Structure 1
């Protein structure tokens, strides 16, 4: 039993290393987009295109990649698109950055559901050698996964901060403009005149330091690609603990035979997964049509529609952090080099809370975690709305980055875990649909980043948060009734 656990942990370690470098490198550059490419809004425009296209790709492409290429190569393809996007920032002209942003949309649509599938797989493999319920291990591994995500942000953002801060000191600009705080915080409306007056706060003093940041992050992604090429294996559900809700291999084989008999064309199938994790076939049209049909079917599922506002909100929250918090409450106040330090602090808090939230949810249920998150989140929005930054109270920004981490990780872990619970028989499609709504939320935030004042966005966030709490309550009520009847 102990040797089995060690083997699972060994595989999970290499999986962890790969996504640690991948997420750290890509998102540290993404966080800089609203600042380093602030002129003409090229940075936020490219990010909006990425997440807007990800919505379409989540429906039509991600399920196909998962079922045709398998989980391993789907993850590697996503990593390659991340690398291309980082390299495009060496020459961030619209005709370079926007095509790269469109390409990385494939990676964004694929990477999150793929890696969550791996995480649940390792949890179930570990459960086979443990003495707890499978769901307890799933919650634990999902918590570790998101903690790893936040640790990657700490590592990469501190690297970014160190390079940009060192560059500022080495290539110091003695003529740097005085900051007008009245254009920061909730009053940040992306006024072109204000942006030009404070341009030194948004862009590095020297391009050399920016190129060094891009080069280091590209190197991390190359390492992560090599790790997955050499160490990562496709999911094998035969190694997982038996789940009573999962069909047996005989049932899956019977279902496979019935599917082939009713098909217009008799083709040789290949390895239909017993838990719907992935499906490979020699005829590409079979998984294409099947995946699209299942995705739309789940999108229209009543409980999914009730969970959708929360998934959308969690994406909008992430988009706000990446596009507005990093600029209006970061570079606008301190300079672009401060983004790395602020986001590292944000990630430290998020990593700690990820583990605590998972334990809290396992012990007391998701409702307790959600209500706690709601209280923290609402308080944070109100503070962002009414706080007036000045040179005497800038220390409050650190509290902002800590509390937004608490709220963000609460929604991401809780809602993804809810999708696992509600749609356990179609995990791959459920993760794709969850990821789709997150992408929509991020795309919306980046899309209107230069059009709306931060104050207006905060009011919108508060409204969607309250609505999401109500719809989640209805979904939870339905799920409890189903459990009683089942």
Structure 2
């Protein structure tokens, strides 16, 4: 067989993922002729390898993890006896270690970034620089999500895609030393590209880890994916705690000179807050405190990059990007020492530029072909816009306007604690509680809290209410983030390479819209917009569940007919 086909076959034989649920394998047909069977098998393996090529795990993982829970394969794809308990324990430990490295790397990185993001609308309020930078950041994510993320994963591997993307977050921290349009805006564009690749690679990698873990342990794959995302977001969301604790302790030094918050200017706070209006009790901290704060965040980002570069499993890149075409020599002998004809070995490697366009188009074809993905768009956008409301509106119009900027950190710590606990619990509860119930709980919580924001007037005497609001919003956010991300692994098995970039695309659209109109609309209008989107997203998500239930029923009936 040719070199390319042999490599493809070996890639699948050494692979760790369970490909039994891929559409292409279900549709593969076999004839009675034995030679045709072999050819069809090679073709199917070639398709499987191409589908998951951008998501391929490390060499160590490929050799260590069995194909399923009962058998494993040697280097030639021959199934042997079940692995021993010690081997299973070693495989499980290896997977968990990679999950923890991933989680703590993101924890350090977003300890810096999320806290800076929470403060952007306050410390960079002048000329609307903070909201503009966030709008540019997430606006860059729109084309970068489906266009660059799949290609980056293919050519650099998951580890180096994640590590390189983390560097862009460090650059954003550096730009905040000199908060001007000519520094913050270019850094926002750069981090937008990095964020698109970072979250697409992270979602794909976590899904693969969970799939392998379920294969080894024999657990339900959907529940395991939800559990892994729950563990990740449970650790990740504590970044809100540590980052905001740092900001609170640093900014508290400047607040001691200001005294207690005044009630004289709070009439413009809360839902009544509008761009260009009174800032209430918001006072921008002195420059020396900002330098101290940013320096601490910069150190956290650098440490995150070092952890991922040194301790995450090594993944080889996929070669140098070029726009030329290369072709294999015709005829000759393959790696197996056998001669082959011109027809078999005349395989041309597509140009990288052409491949880039193909990846982009495949993501869009996937979305339009999958009605369920299209129906999930409002839910994806809501999952980011509810975060944007919390970051840009609640922190600035409610907390800093009423209590002062130094209170943002303390209130957001409460949000982070509840968010992390919620993500961890939801990941575990998913084994017993249907995801429909979890989504419904988050929707009811957000609906009640938005009504409270529209009707209750903020006041320094109601400080406890800010903490209760942030805590309950964190509970809902923990549900949204774990369940929306795990939904792709359940609804689109084997297609995460295009599903997660599309999630990044529409999530970025939601963020961009939120921050773009943030500098023009009053807080009450923004809250009403999000409330309407919540109702729409729950309706479309309900339609997805109905379609999935019908599809599962049809698959069950087909399997029963075949058995009969």
Q: Deviations over 1:213-246 (max 9, x none)?
A: 100111011111111111112579xxxxxxxxxx
Offset, 1:310: 0.5
Q: Deviations over 1:52-101 (max 9, x none)?
A: 11111112111211112111111112111101111101111111111111
Q: Deviations over 1:427-462 (max 9, x none)?
A: 121111112111111111111111111101111111
Task: Return the match for 1:470 from 509, 532, 539.
Answer: 539
- Contact residue 228 and residue 427 of structure 2 kept, 8 A: no
Task: Return the match for 1:105 from 178, 187, 192.
Answer: 192
Matched, 1:182 2:267: yes
Offset, 1:109: 1.1
Task: Return the match for 1:434 from 486, 503, 523.
Answer: 503
Change in Cα spacing, 1:202 to 1:45, as seen in structure 2 (3 Å) is farther
Q: Deviations over 1:128-177 (max 9, x none)?
A: 432412222211111011111211221111111111113433xx247997
Number of aligned pairs?
Answer: 441
- Contact residue 179 and residue 333 of structure 1 kept, 8 A: no
Q: Secondary structure at the match of 1:5?
A: helix
1:250 is aligned to: none
Offset, 1:304: 0.8
Change in Cα spacing, 1:483 to 1:262, as seen in structure 2 (3 Å) is farther
Change in Cα spacing, 1:228 to 1:179, as seen in structure 2 (3 Å) is farther
Change in Cα spacing, 1:471 to 1:234, as seen in structure 2 (3 Å) is farther
* Distance in structure 2 (CA, Å) of the matches to 1:392 and 1:334: 10
Q: Secondary structure at the match of 1:129?
A: helix
Bigger mean CA offset, 353-362 vs 24-33: 353-362
2:488 is aligned to: 419
- Contact residue 310 and residue 411 of structure 1 kept, 8 A: no
Stretches of structure 1 that go unaligned for 5 or more consecutive residues are 237-260, 269-281
Offset, 1:334: 1.5
RMSD between aligned residues:
2.2
* Distance in structure 2 (CA, Å) of the matches to 1:449 and 1:179: 25
- Contact residue 113 and residue 432 of structure 1 kept, 8 A: yes
Offset, 1:327: 0.7
2:339 is aligned to: none
Change in Cα spacing, 1:444 to 1:83, as seen in structure 2 (3 Å) is same
1:356 is aligned to: 425
1:387 is aligned to: 456
* Distance in structure 2 (CA, Å) of the matches to 1:73 and 1:148: 22
- Contact residue 92 and residue 213 of structure 2 kept, 8 A: yes
| Pairs within 5 Å for 1:88-237 | 88-169=175-256, 172-173=257-258, 179-192=264-277, 194-195=278-279, 198=280, 201-204=282-285, 206-233=286-313
Q: Deviations over 1:164-195 (max 9, x none)?
A: 113433xx247997651111111111224x13
- Contact residue 20 and residue 151 of structure 1 kept, 8 A: yes
1:321 is aligned to: 390
* Distance in structure 1 (CA, Å) of the matches to 2:94 and 2:225: 17
Q: What's the TM-score once normalised by structure 2's chain length?
A: 0.75
Matched, 1:57 2:144: yes
- Contact residue 36 and residue 43 of structure 1 kept, 8 A: yes
Change in Cα spacing, 1:68 to 1:461, as seen in structure 2 (3 Å) is same
1:11 is aligned to: 98
Bigger mean CA offset, 369-378 vs 130-139: 130-139
Matched, 1:297 2:384: no
2:439 is aligned to: 370
1:285 is aligned to: 353
1:23 is aligned to: 110
* Distance in structure 2 (CA, Å) of the matches to 1:99 and 1:48: 12
Matched, 1:334 2:403: yes
- Contact residue 118 and residue 235 of structure 1 kept, 8 A: no
* Distance in structure 1 (CA, Å) of the matches to 2:494 and 2:97: 27
Stretches of structure 2 that go unaligned for 5 or more consecutive residues are 1-87, 317-342, 556-564
Offset, 1:352: 0.9
User: Which has the larger Rg?
Assistant: 2
Task: Return the match for 1:74 from 161, 166, 174.
Answer: 161
* Distance in structure 1 (CA, Å) of the matches to 2:407 and 2:168: 27
Task: Return the match for 1:447 from 504, 516, 524.
Answer: 516
Change in Cα spacing, 1:297 to 1:80, as seen in structure 2 (3 Å) is same
- Contact residue 389 and residue 514 of structure 2 kept, 8 A: yes
* Distance in structure 2 (CA, Å) of the matches to 1:80 and 1:156: 18
Change in Cα spacing, 1:100 to 1:33, as seen in structure 2 (3 Å) is same
- Contact residue 119 and residue 142 of structure 1 kept, 8 A: yes
Task: Return the match for 2:348 from 242, 267, 272.
Answer: 267
Q: Secondary structure at the match of 1:449?
A: helix
- Contact residue 161 and residue 337 of structure 1 kept, 8 A: yes
* Distance in structure 1 (CA, Å) of the matches to 2:462 and 2:117: 28
Offset, 1:284: 1.9
